[in-house]
């Protein structure tokens, strides 16, 4: 396995990145057009969301044919050109493998429904109980996780949309089919894979009602998941030393993530977990309005950073992806302190222990969509929940307010390349409206002397220059501070302090106190010690640093002291 410690990965949500043929949808040829922009940023790899044939009920996460490119994204030749053009620029391509489920349009599922026993066992069919489904499990997109298969009295399991049928990983033939898929794409020259909700692939033999929840405790990090991942690795990417793999882990635990990602386990290079992105859920419910809980965010970062480090695990570092609202709107300020907070968030996450992911548009601070009407949304989950909240009696205005904060479409609006009508994304009508945020675009950001883009570029450069960033230990300080996220990273004599203000008011950071608590001395640091900052100067008065709104910086000193 290749070391991923000094890598940075850029996520492309293909449908919203760049439309090369004027149909309102982003495509593979559009990505090729923007390779120089991505090269300039300095990321190592591009992870493309699924580009395979799909009815697009869940924008490609419902795959109907793993071997062909969906015509709306282009052709196989377009992908081959992208792989080779990216390679010329030192960029690797990672593909997204959706192996927990297929589309109900997949040939396997069609055969299964037609009664073909071989293919029926590729999926999870069970008889219902009188008028009830086999268990009371709830789909992650709302409603029952079971759908009746025609008139048969049997149901199939779908943890996501009813058009996304869960695969039966207990079937060896099915597993081999999936290995063939991975090997096919390895031959095409991709450098790695992201595996969609891969910790949900192992279901128990006997499926039972969940009397205390929605069923997830039975299939999350399920009984044979580690065995399955080891076998997958052995038969596919594990045979190649330089492949990068990341598993998306839903509702997982540190203990399991250590096993998924510790190189000795020979499973994956790293994992995504989402605990830190639930700090604005009221009692665990996403579809609520709540200020984010900063102290909880700090606690989760601390638990995961130290827990993974202790046992040799490796994690992906991110605030954004295509399922999340935009971080600058969620944890920062997308108006008065747009630039400051976008840069603060970047620094706060990139300098932790793990591999950073940049989600398209994040590099110039793209904010939430700010849609006003349900007709503007396209996401299956958002539309399902609009109906569910309505049926529960929530008022229309409140539902729209919840969606404005929580909808996945916030992260999916097309790239704002420039300020023109089609924003440099398309020459026609975009498939999803643009975010309503005048003045924000890649072009405008790059034209400014203090661009967010350059801040990200600098963070990537620093990771490559400083081992303390790519390979240092992690220690959180000032745990009780309710404004600042502060942590130390140490590698040999190299010591780095990262301080980030998550609020728009001023506060202070005391270097003396840090010295007495940790024995690491940053008191002599000068402007030269600043690796990166989102203000022009360091407001240091004696041993106290005055911290301004959303200010964030990293200080570096050489210090022989062995602590941390």
Q: Is 196 a catalytic residue?
A: yes
Question: Is residue 178 a contact point for ligand TEU (CB under 6 A)?
Answer: no
H or E segment and range at residue 108:
helix 107-113
List binders of ligand TEU among 43-102 (CB under 6 A). Answer: 58, 61, 98
Nearer to ligand TEU, 193 or 553 (CB): 193
Over the window 390 to 419, marking each residue x when it contacts ligand TEU by CB under 6 A and - when it does not, the resulting string is: ------------------x-----------
Strand blocks (E) in 360-513: 473-477, 484-491, 494-501, 507-510
Please give the span between the terminal C-alpha atoms of the chain, in angstroms, as a whole number.
Answer: 28
The residue count for binding ligand TEU (CB under 6 A) is 14
Q: What is the DSSP letter of 434?
A: P
Q: Output Rg (C-alpha) for the chain, integer angstroms.
A: 24
Where in 219-248 is the site for ligand TEU (CB under 6 A)? 248
315 vs 469, beta carbon nearer ligand TEU: 315
| Smaller CB separation from ligand TEU, 197 or 316 | 197
Least Å distance, CB 50 to ligand TEU, is: 9
Q: Applying CB under 6 A, which of residues 126, 140, 299, 483 lies at the interface with ligand TEU? A: 140
CA atoms within 13 A of residue 127's CA, in its CB half-sphere: 2
- Quote helix, strand, coil % in the chain, to nearest 5: 35, 20, 45
Nearest approach, Cβ of residue 162 and ligand TEU (Å): 12
- CB contact at 8 A, 72 and 122: no
Residue 270 interacting with ligand TEU (CB under 6 A) = no
197 touching ligand TEU, by CB under 6 A: yes
**Token representation of residue 327:** 């971080």
H-assigned helices in 432-543: 442-447, 452-465, 467-471, 511-518
CB of 319: closest distance to ligand TEU in angstroms? 14
Q: Does 166 bind ligand TEU (CB under 6 A)?
A: no
Using alpha carbons, select from 280, 387, 268 the residue that is nearest to residue 329: 280
Closer of 186 and 403 to ligand TEU (Cβ)? 403
Of the residues 137, 160, 195, 431, which one makes contact with ligand TEU according to CB under 6 A = 160
Shortest distance in whole angstroms from residue 495 CB to ligand TEU: 37
Identify the active-site residue in 248, 340, 551, 559. 248
**96, 196, 445, 559: the active-site residue:** 196
- Residues numbered 371 to 390 that lie near ligand TEU (CB under 6 A) are 381
Paired with 195 in beta bridges are 97, 247
Q: Which two tokens stand for residue 430?
A: 């975009």
SS (H, E, C) 141-165: CCCECEEECCCCCEEEECCCCCCEE
CB of 227 to ligand TEU, least distance (A): 22
Does 196 contact ligand TEU by CB under 6 A?
yes
Do 352 and 298 contact (CB within 8 A), yes or no?
A: no
Nearer to ligand TEU by Cβ, of 160 and 337: the residue is: 160
* Least distance CB 197 / ligand TEU (angstroms): 5
Measured from the CB atom, the residue of 293 and 467 that comes closer to ligand TEU is 293
Q: Tell me the per-residue interface mask from 98 to 137 with ligand TEU, x by CB under 6 A, - otherwise.
A: x---------------------------------------
Report the residue number, 285 or 373, with the smaller CB distance to ligand TEU: 285
- In angstroms, what is the minimal distance from the CB of 251 to ligand TEU? 8
Instruction: Spell out a b/e string for 508-526, using b for 16 or more CB atoms within 10 Å of the CB, else e.
Output: ebebeebeeebebebeebe
Q: Is 286 in the site for ligand TEU (CB under 6 A)?
A: yes
Closest CB 282 distance from ligand TEU, rounded Å: 14
Identify residues 302-331 at the interface with ligand TEU (CB under 6 A). 322-323
Query: Distance between CA atoms of 348 and 352, rounded to whole angstroms?
Result: 7
What is the CB neighbour count within 10 angstroms for residue 62?
25
d(CA 361, CA 369): 12
Cβ at position 40, least distance to ligand TEU in Å: 27
The tokens describing 416, both together, are 């704002």
* Options 54, 144, 199, 250; binder of ligand TEU; rule CB under 6 A: 250
What six digits make up the tokens of 9?
């990965």
214 binds ligand TEU per the rule CB under 6 A: no
Please state, in angstroms and rounded to a whole number, the distance separating the CA atoms of residues 241 and 340: 40
* C-alpha dihedral sign at 435, 440, 441, 442: negative
Active site residues: 196, 248
Where does this chain bind ligand TEU (CB under 6 A)?
A: 58, 61, 98, 140, 160, 196-197, 248, 250, 286, 322-323, 381, 408
């Amino acid at each position: 396995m290749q070391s991923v410690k000094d890598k940075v990965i850029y996520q492309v949500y293909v449908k919203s990145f760049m439309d090369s043929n004027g149909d309102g949808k982003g495509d593979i040829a559009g990505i090729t057009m923007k390779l120089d922009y991505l090269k300039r940023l300095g990321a190592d790899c591009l992870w493309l969301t699924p580009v395979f044939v799909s009815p697009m009920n869940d924008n490609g996460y419902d795959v109907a044919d793993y071997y062909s490119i969906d015509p709306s994204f282009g052709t196989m030749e377009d992908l081959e050109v992208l792989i080779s053009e990216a390679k010329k620029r030192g960029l690797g391509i990672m593909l997204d493998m959706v192996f927990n489920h297929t589309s109900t349009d997949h040939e396997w599922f069609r055969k299964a429904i037609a009664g073909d026993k071989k293919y029926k066992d590729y999926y999870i069919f069970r008889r219902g109980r009188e008028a009830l489904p086999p268990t009371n499990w709830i789909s992650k997109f709302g409603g029952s996780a079971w759908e009746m298969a025609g008139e048969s009295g049997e149901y199939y399991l779908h943890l996501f949309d009813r058009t996304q049928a869960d695969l039966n990983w207990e079937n060896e033939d099915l597993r081999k089919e999936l290995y063939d898929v991975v090997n096919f794409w390895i031959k095409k020259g991709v450098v790695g894979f992201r595996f969609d909700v891969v910790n949900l692939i192992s279901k128990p033999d006997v499926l039972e009602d969940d009397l205390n929840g929605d069923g997830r405790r039975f299939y999350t990090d399920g009984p044979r998941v580690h065995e399955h991942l080891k076998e997958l690795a052995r038969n596919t990417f594990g045979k190649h030393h330089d492949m990068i793999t990341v598993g998306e882990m839903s509702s997982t635990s540190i203990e399991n993530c250590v096993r998924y990602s510790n190189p000795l386990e020979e499973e994956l290079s790293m994992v995504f977990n989402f605990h830190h992105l639930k700090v604005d859920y009221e009692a665990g419910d996403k579809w609520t309005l709540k200020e984010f809980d900063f102290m909880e965010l700090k606690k989760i970062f601390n638990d995961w950073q130290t827990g993974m480090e202790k046992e040799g695990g490796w994690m992906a570092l991110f605030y954004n992806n295509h399922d999340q609202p935009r971080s600058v709107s969620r944890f920062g300020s997308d108006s008065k302190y747009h630039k400051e907070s976008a840069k603060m968030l970047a620094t706060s996450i990139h300098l932790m222990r793990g591999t950073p992911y940049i989600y398209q548009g994040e590099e110039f601070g793209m904010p939430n969509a700010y849609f006003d009407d349900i007709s503007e949304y396209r996401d299956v989950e958002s539309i399902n929940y609009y109906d569910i909240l309505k049926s529960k009696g929530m008022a229309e205005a409140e539902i729209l307010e919840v969606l404005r904060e929580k909808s996945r479409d916030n992260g999916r609006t097309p790239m704002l390349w420039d300020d023109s009508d089609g924003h440099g994304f398309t020459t026609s009508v975009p498939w999803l409206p643009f975010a309503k945020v005048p003045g924000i675009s890649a072009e405008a950001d790059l034209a400014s002397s203090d661009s967010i883009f350059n801040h990200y570029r600098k963070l990537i450069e620093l990771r490559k220059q400083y081992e303390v960033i790519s390979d240092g230990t992690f220690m959180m300080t000032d745990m009780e501070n309710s404004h600042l996220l502060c942590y130390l990273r140490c590698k040999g004599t190299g010591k780095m302090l990262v301080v980030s203000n998550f609020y728009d008011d001023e506060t202070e950071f005391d270097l003396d106190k840090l010295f007495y608590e940790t024995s690491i001395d940053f008191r002599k640091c000068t402007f030269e010690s600043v690796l990166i900052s989102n203000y022009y100067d360091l407001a240091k008065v004696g041993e106290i640093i005055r911290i301004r709104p959303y200010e964030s910086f990293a200080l570096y000193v050489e210090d022989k002291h062995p602590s941390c």
